[in-house]
Chains A and B, each alone.
Chain A
């Protein structure tokens, strides 16, 4: 299977600050990828590099087997909706669709018309008079009507209310079911993406902290709690991601490909939310080591 997106040591520097650093990542085709991280983690930078709006300072990025943003034929295969779903407030929906048809060689006019109908929108309406959720749906319609193989969405649901958010994701998943497009959508909240994504990338402090198939990630991480003990006494196959201790009890989040059989632990599954927070926490503790917190051997 070819990768939809592949980066190798990818980095982007603004002035003296790395917005994205040493990013090595492979995203297989056909996935719905959640790109999660706090504001300023490098999500938008990564997406802009993938579209070709930015050029890398270091490393390489390959999109659909070629250079990112490499000419009109490559651009036609990639759909992108920027943050805040930009549209032209003074133009009607019909004019947006007309513009889409002019600008895109692979435009699917029927698909666009059908989607606007399904959404119950009047094509003569000016986009400026629509609600945030409707505007987001129009922007999504424009991006999918060009029939991209890779669809990149930057914070598509951040500004939407819960109902509009659900409707947006329903529409997006219908497109995935129908056309099998690879989707990368970013959010600072994993809860927004939990239902839809089957591949997760956690960005924090300009670095990739975690990347992989959601199912594999969930199956290989466990929350352990039991009598207090030193995490260093764990088997080598168990890697501690997060730990907290009281004077009597230890709670750990560990990565292990093998089942935890030690009867001393109560083993609980982890949620995607747990995972994201644990890996983000790890990024923080690496940057500012907390002194004074010593582990009792």
Chain B
């Protein structure tokens, strides 16, 4: 069983932190299909957070098809992530590294690059929203 942690300074919504920790545990193999997630009561007893927050996180995970509640028993992992294609990961890493090298060669500092990166992320994702 995994144990949730909370980073109150991250600015990330609490339920999202729980969702991300389950994602991470699945990716790292700490959680596998058949494993049980802690009950809402166990989570709130440890973290002192609102039980609705835990239930919301579990509903999100259920909607993603990763977990399934069994009434009266608990919430169980039913599926793990399909492995991301390592070749694709390497390809994108390569492209980004090349881009970074050329940005540095053009005299951009890491602060400049981060600003560009954040703007690009925002533009790309807000297009997806709009």
Contact = CB atoms under 8 A, between A and B. Distances in A.
Interface string B95-130: 000000000000000000000000100110010011
B13 A195 contact: no
Contacts of B66: none
A170 interface: yes
Given A197-B50, A198-B52, A259-B126, A170 B44 contact: yes
A178 interface: yes
A98 interface: no
Interface residues of B, number: 23
B53 interface: yes
Contacts, number: 55
B13 A173 contact: no
Interface in B64-105: none
Given A32-B50, A263-B123, A177 B8 contact: no
Contact of A198 (B8, B46, B53): B53
Contact of B130 (A166, A169, A178, A261): A261
Contact of A194 (B8, B45, B129, B130): B8
B46 to A, nearest CB: 7
Interface in B15-65: 40-41, 44-53
Interface in A15-34: 30, 32
A262 to B, nearest CB: 10
Interface string A95-108: 00000000000000
Contacts of B44: 170, 173-174, 176-177
Nearest to B130: A261
The 8 closest A-B pairs by CB, nearest first: A177-B51, A173-B44, A169-B48, A170-B48, A177-B41, A195-B49, A198-B50, A177-B40
